[in-house]
Amino acid sequence: MVRIRRLLALFLLATPLVATPLAFAHADISTVSFAFAGDTELGNSPQVPANPTAYLANSKNLLSANVVFANLEGTMTNGGTSKCNPPSASCYAFKVPPSFAAAYKSAGFTILNSANNHSFDFGSAGAASTTAALKAAGLLQAGLRNQITYTRVGTVKIAVIGFAPYYNVNNFLVTSSARTLIQTAKRHAQLVIVYMHVGAEGPAATHVTRKTETFYGENRGNPYQFAHFAIDAGADAVIGSGPHVLRGMEYYKGHLIAYSLGDFINYGNFAMVSPLNLSAILKFTLASDGTLQSAQFISLKLVGRGQLSVDSTDASAHMVNSLSRADFGGQAAIINSDGSLVLPG
């Protein structure tokens, strides 16, 4: 069994509530540090936090890494026409002011994903406003149709591709296009990270079924099948969210798959009861050849109206370990008591 240990300079928690920031690498580095969060919802105008920067302040030290990624649920716009017309109890359309992009930047995010079921909640105009807001804040965007997002850390070029089961974004249900995107990214970058917004939602959706999952009549894809497909096509890691609950982690052909990181922030959009209130940050470092160097899982709990806090009971880690063992057996990636991962070997 190969034991992946934390590098103290990267991952040591300075206090029970914050993590020591990762040291940013110099131009000659051959490794890249990543921090991944799940779904983010800063409310729905006009029900939004008065100070979004303060609302996200708890995350800044925890997220420090070269590449910091989350899924952006909804749009950043002051206008547009809601897709929920007429309104329906089963239809959700999210928007926050474009100025909220700066709060994500201040919290340490570098890339936000728009491959999900809410990126066009307010039509093409809302989607365009979101893209403009992210660009103005200095954030990269991932997941729009045919989009591969490139960034560079020192001498290492990284590609990030977001996928979801919808035709107005990178659609993983169209396997030929998905394969082409991943293989194209692999030709142009040393490291390729695939994000997938996939699977059914809610408290009953914690397990990876290995089957096609549906929600509200939609085909939400087969997470297990697509994650393996992405690795086989050239991805160095696959990270998921979308079910709004945590799911297990797997080690497949030497690469890490996290099937869902749950909700990272959630301003009053969902009930704050277990397991919906359990969340996590997944941090890992890859060498430029894709080899996993170190990894850490930080257990979080959403409190109040969905604001994150570090959970000293590690309930998220215990839940993910149980799910990983049940769903992946000998291929499970297991979280140690110190947050590092034990990988099958």
CATH number for position 133: 3.60.21.10
Number of domain units in the chain: 1
**pTM for the full predicted model:** 0.90
Angle between helices 223-233 and 175-188 (to 10 degrees): 40
User: Would residue 123 be called left, alpha or beta, if left means φ above 0 and alpha means ψ between -120 and 50 degrees?
Assistant: left
The span from the CA of 122 to the CA of 257, in Å, is 32
Contact 22, 10 (CB under 8 A): yes
Helix (H, G, I), strand (E, B) or coil at 225: helix
Burial state string for 185-206 with b = 16 or more CB within 10 A and e = fewer than 16: bbeebbbbbbbbbbbbbeeebb
Task: Provide the residue-wise pLDDT of the chain in tens; the chain has 345 residues.
Answer: 334 333 323 333 332 333 322 333 344 458 999 999 999 999 999 899 999 999 999 898 999 999 999 999 999 999 889 999 887 877 889 999 999 999 999 999 999 999 999 999 999 999 999 999 999 999 999 999 999 999 999 999 999 999 999 999 999 999 999 999 999 999 999 999 999 999 999 999 999 999 999 998 899 999 999 999 999 999 999 999 999 999 999 999 999 999 999 999 988 766 678 899 999 999 999 999 999 999 999 999 999 888 999 999 999 999 999 999 999 999 999 999 999 998 886
pLDDT number for residue 29:
58
pLDDT number for residue 137:
98
pLDDT number for residue 313:
97
Cα torsion 283, 285, 290, 292 to 10°: value is -80
H helices of the chain, where? 8-11, 52-55, 60-63, 101-107, 123-136, 175-188, 223-233, 315-328
Strand order in the sheet with 156-163: 149-153, 156-163, 191-197, 237-241, 255-258, 249-252
Look up the domain containing 290 and give its range.
Answer: 2-343
